Amino acid sequence: MVAVAAVAMVMPAGVAQAADGAAPPRMEDGFGLTQVGTATGDATNFYLTVTTPEVAGEQHIKIILPSGYYDDPARRYPVMYFLHGSPDDPIQQNYPALSMSNEMITVIPDGGARGWYANWLDQKTPAGAQNWENFHLKQVIPYIDANLKTIATKKARAVAGISMGGFGAFHYAQVRPDLFSQTASLSGDIDLSAASMDLRFAVVASLIDAQGGENSPYKPAVDSDAAFGSPYPVFNADWRFNQVDPKQNMEKLAGIGVSIYTGDGGGQIGTLEFWVSGAAKNVKARMDSLGMPYYYVNYGDGSGWGTQCNGDHNAGCWEQDLRDLIPRLEKAFAS
């Protein structure tokens, strides 16, 4: 049995209330975040646009509240922080499963097209300030706790993510295990070791804008070493990659609920899901060697995983992942 600190049930000053039945609640600036304009959406599904000295430009924060959020002023809720993949945006996270819970709040903070949920090594690139870890862990979380009816404890906080966000979810739970009781990777880049050079090069490709072209989301191009230093395992030059590699730091998740979802890319070598499937298997093996518990789903070609999953790196599979994950998080929060 886990002891949970008592949470005051009196709404503090500044906790957001809906202006009326249709409008998003008013959110007060703070913790380095300044809202730009007004929130967009309705009272329970909306997004904010904010600025912060930690990250260049304007950033979105999408918030999904339980349908009964305003019915009981005294009731507080656990929170799932959901991290999007590359090169997505919070606004694009429209999975129906994210709106299925009446037991928790979902917060989707901007992670940039290639922010990699990290404080970049080089802050003087043409991309400007790139302190995504500071933005999320030191600003967004306390901002949400100050403005919404959250249960502001480790037990009542989870972090989950897709692809690049899967890396972010494990990384954040590893660097701040005091903040999260659950973490989940959905087709995540959770092995950045030298054994998974293809995923390291996925990071590099996003940084240098290997895609190129006028409409590439990875502009401006920056140096390949900008985020984590050298990716090459020569004379320990890649030590920063090793330092943030989830697989090499799984012992830091001791006591945290770990969930891993992956397909197999239809067995086609070279597909992104094929490579993240290998990463998931490597992490599973690492946890087995450490004797750590976990929840692991490899749905293969997706034929038995919902009605829209083909086992590849796509929304049809992630929707089903979320439909499996969210009730499990609800149960863990309620335990």
Q: Which two tokens stand for residue 27?
A: 């959110």
- In this predicted structure, what is the pLDDT of residue 197? 87
The parts of the chain modelled with pLDDT lower than 70 are 1-21, 267-270
| Residue 50 forms part of a structural domain | yes
What does the alpha-carbon distance between residue 63 and residue 104 come to, in Å, rounded to a whole number? 11
Domains held by the chain: number? 1
Whether 213 maps to a domain, the answer reads no
For the chain, the farthest-separated pair of C-alpha atoms sits apart, in whole angstroms, at 61
Return contacts of 204-208, CB within 8 angstroms, 24+ apart: 204/231, 206/86, 206/87, 206/113, 206/114, 206/116, 207/114
d(CA 162, CA 193): 19
The CATH code of the domain that includes 167 is: 3.40.50.1820
Determine how β-strand 34-35 pairs with β-strand 45-52: antiparallel
Question: For position 16, what pLDDT does the model report?
Answer: 60
pLDDT at position 319 is 98
User: Does 251 map to a domain?
Assistant: no
pLDDT single digits (tens) 199-208: 999 999 999 9
Q: What is the pLDDT of residue 17?
A: 57
* Sign, Cα dihedral of 103, 109, 115, 118: negative
The pair phi, psi for residue 193, each rounded to 5°, is -75, 170
CB 276 within 8 A of CB 264: no
Residue 268 within a domain: yes
Asked, for residue 97, whether it belongs to a domain, the answer is yes
Residue 159: domain span:
34-189+256-334
| Cα 283 off chain centre by | 18
In this prediction, residue 194 carries a pLDDT of 86
CB 228 within 8 A of CB 171: no
Distances from the Cα of 189 to the Cα of 45, 278, 312, 316, angstroms: 28, 10, 14, 18
Kindly report the number of other CB atoms within 10 A of residue 206's CB atom. Answer: 24
Q: How far apart are CA 80 and CA 321, in angstroms?
A: 15
Query: Whole-prediction pTM value?
Result: 0.93
Contact status, residue 76 vs residue 104, Cβ threshold 8 Å: no
In a domain, 82, yes or no: yes
User: Phi, psi at residue 324, to the nearest 5°?
Assistant: -85, -40
Is 316 within a domain? yes
Residue with tokens 């009816």: 149
Any domain includes 54: yes
